Structure 1
């Protein structure tokens, strides 16, 4: 089955390309049915025959949004897959164990109180302050959860989930207080973070996301065999030559970086890191050598599909994408709990 991995990846990528093309032509604004070749030509040559209004919708609204859905969906799915492999538990996803909540908390603090401490930060970092704050929040939450729930290489699932509940409760309390203090503009921004949306996508944000994901994937994507070995137990993995502590530390930092950046740009989008690994495990068992690279593509497919539905289902209004992913993820979460109960 491992020999078929390139075939699975090629088929998944083809499906992603088809969905991206379909999504490009869907929306409230109806433009002339330009061919894909014309659209690609417009990217490299602004002087094409496509009307300026069509060109703006294609290149400044829809295409950046599609690219952001692909990048964030991939990042969240890979983050969830890596955490589940590290904790050896299917419930270890960024949103369920509180990493997303920690990131959202620091983003909310920056939105409401950022003007009071921005003057103490170098001007070159002002544009990235929200991303940096979201990353720090995710890293602190991840470190806290790992330290409190792991002892002698074993993770207590109940403590891990309760830690997530505690962090989420704290986040909601502080965010509620910040909402009380916020202005109308800050309130709109806070609502955006809590429900999640790709409506603020831009090429600059996509560039930052692409760099973050490229750095993270340069280490994470090739660690499928290491995660397979860690599933046997950390001592066995060390005997096989896996630097367990080094792998775990990098997973903690890089998943926090990806989740933090995703939250900074798109708000809270849950369950992507739960749905994709669950589906892949049904097909490939717990073979992370296959699951990990496939999750990078299928996460993009899931979020791109959800975003296309969110902006077309009740057009011209838009359903927050976090609501749609929660509708998809909640039944799978319940299914995992039922399976976990039967295995006890």
Structure 2
């Protein structure tokens, strides 16, 4: 760990970038039908230049199923990890993630409302938005849930972490209960779609989903970098950050909006995937430190790698069937979360998380 602390940021970025390339290649070839690196290269060359003869079934599999799924994994992993880094910095607490403050559950509720009530006359007036309706509903659901939690956790210009966690539990319970009610009254196809959101899966990946996830992730990533220095100042406290010229209230609102954009679009496309936003930023802090400029870039790279590898496990563990990715992340993330809690308890007052 000490060696990692001495490693330069550029070396970490280079290592993560190389691992990301390896993860992309492995992900594109892994599944019920295995595609070798040589065959993938031949398929790309044939598509780009018309060279050689390829298996048309494998060509369709790669370009219409495997490749969009791989790219969607990258964008969603980056989005969830960056959002986790933002929320941990905003609340100045290492155990915060979008799922704990209600963003994911609120987004899923927004998506469920659209699934069940999509044929309602209210939505018919918005038909001009076409495929944007689902992400918009998820965004609004996540935004409302996050704002409610933040409202109850902020008192006397400070964030009360205990109240934040309790408010997050309450909002999650309400959102999950409402989603369950919608699933109960929904018709069978709608109920299956809602179940899909709750378990999380990349099985429905397509190029339209890639476009939505890519746009929201790229915009959210660059906006996050813009506020990285201000978030670093915020770690000193609201008053001290104000002395340094940071408009803390505007910063908090901006971070909440960026977080909601990243999480809600990802959730509307692939469902709830827990713990990714908690684990990735924390691992990066252990590796190098708490500079948000480093955390945001590193979270985007490492989150994409981890979610791609996890999705590969989902494809092969019960092949030819497929396991929902939310199950895998829960089994891995929950023990890590307990380890983080135990680590914080043992550290006590030995210098603080951001020291």
Q: Tell me which interval the TM-score lies in, with the shorter structure as reference length.
A: over 0.9
Q: Separation in 2 of the partners of 1:339 and 1:33?
A: 42
Q: CA offsets per residue over residues 304-330 of structure 1, 9 Å max, x none?
A: 010000011110111110011111110
Deviation at 1:19, TM superposition (A): 1.2
Q: Separation in 2 of the partners of 1:258 and 1:69?
A: 14
Pick the aligned partner of 1:108 from 109, 112, 119.
Answer: 112
> How many residues matched?
344
Aligned match of 2:283? 279
Q: Is the contact made by 1:205 and 1:265 (CA closer than 8 Å) also made in structure 2?
A: yes
Question: Which structure 2 residues correspond to residues 190-205 of structure 1 after superposition, within 5 A?
Answer: 190-205=194-209
Q: Is the contact made by 2:142 and 2:264 (CA closer than 8 Å) also made in structure 1?
A: yes
Deviation at 1:275, TM superposition (A): 0.7
Residues 1:71 and 2:84 are matched in the alignment:
no
Q: Any unmatched runs of 5+ in structure 2?
A: 350-355
Structure 1 residue matching 2:178: 3-state secondary structure? helix
Deviation at 1:116, TM superposition (A): 1.3
Q: Is the contact made by 1:43 and 1:59 (CA closer than 8 Å) also made in structure 2?
A: no
TM-score of the aligned structures, taking structure 1 as reference length: 0.94
Aligned match of 1:262? 266
Pick the aligned partner of 1:314 from 308, 311, 318.
Answer: 318
Q: Is the contact made by 1:42 and 1:55 (CA closer than 8 Å) also made in structure 2?
A: no
Residues 1:58 and 2:62 are matched in the alignment:
yes
Deviation at 1:8, TM superposition (A): 1.3
Q: Is the contact made by 1:27 and 1:311 (CA closer than 8 Å) also made in structure 2?
A: yes
Distance change >3 Å, CA 86–CA 315, structure 1 → 2? same
Aligned match of 1:161? 165
Q: Any unmatched runs of 5+ in structure 1?
A: none
Q: CA offsets per residue over residues 156-211 of structure 1, 9 Å max, x none?
A: 11111111111121122212221221111111101100100011111111111111
Structure 1 residue matching 2:131: 3-state secondary structure? coil
Deviation at 1:241, TM superposition (A): 2.5
Q: Is the contact made by 1:118 and 1:126 (CA closer than 8 Å) also made in structure 2?
A: no
Structure 2 residue matching 1:268: 3-state secondary structure? coil
Residues 1:22 and 2:26 are matched in the alignment:
yes
Cα-Cα RMSD: 1.9
Distance change >3 Å, CA 322–CA 46, structure 1 → 2? farther
Q: Is the contact made by 1:71 and 1:210 (CA closer than 8 Å) also made in structure 2?
A: yes
Residues 1:129 and 2:142 are matched in the alignment:
no
TM-score of the aligned structures, taking structure 2 as reference length: 0.91
Q: Which segments of structure 1 move beyond 6 Å, counting only runs of 4 or more? A: none
Deviation at 1:300, TM superposition (A): 0.4
Q: Separation in 1 of the partners of 2:321 and 2:7?
A: 45
Q: Separation in 2 of the partners of 1:228 and 1:76?
A: 20
User: Which piece of structure 1 moves more, 246-255 or 311-320?
Assistant: 246-255
Q: Separation in 1 of the partners of 2:20 and 2:78?
A: 11
Pick the aligned partner of 1:233 from 220, 234, 237.
Answer: 237
Aligned match of 2:185? 181
Distance change >3 Å, CA 329–CA 215, structure 1 → 2? same
